[in-house]
Amino acid sequence: MRDIKTYLSVAPVLSTLWFGALAGLLIEINRLFPDALSFPHLGSLGKRIKLALANSLMHYLPSTL
């Protein structure tokens, strides 16, 4: 019973600290990169990754397609 009381008193404190730190991190990221719903400078990297993935998948497809 004592362990349960200890857990119930520690878990809310740790979760509050964790979520507070996470919120602070997200706020700072949003302050440094406002309105960053997308990162256009990473667009070409995404295209290269998709192309490389498509090329590697073509190796495994049957040639009759």
pLDDT in tens, 21-52: 999 998 988 888 777 665 566 566 567 777 77
Continuous H helices in the chain: 2-32, 43-58
Query: Is the whole model's pTM more than 0.95, yes or no?
Result: no
Task: Go through 10-37 and write b for each residue having 16 or more CB atoms within 10 A of its CB, e for each that does not.
Answer: eeeeeeeeeeeeeeeeeeeeeeeeeeee
Instruction: Report if residue 9 sits inside a domain.
Output: yes
Question: What does pLDDT average to over the chain?
Answer: 77
Domain count, the chain: 1
Instruction: Report if residue 33 sits inside a domain.
Output: yes
Instruction: Report if residue 65 sits inside a domain.
Output: no
Which residues span the domain enclosing 8? 2-58
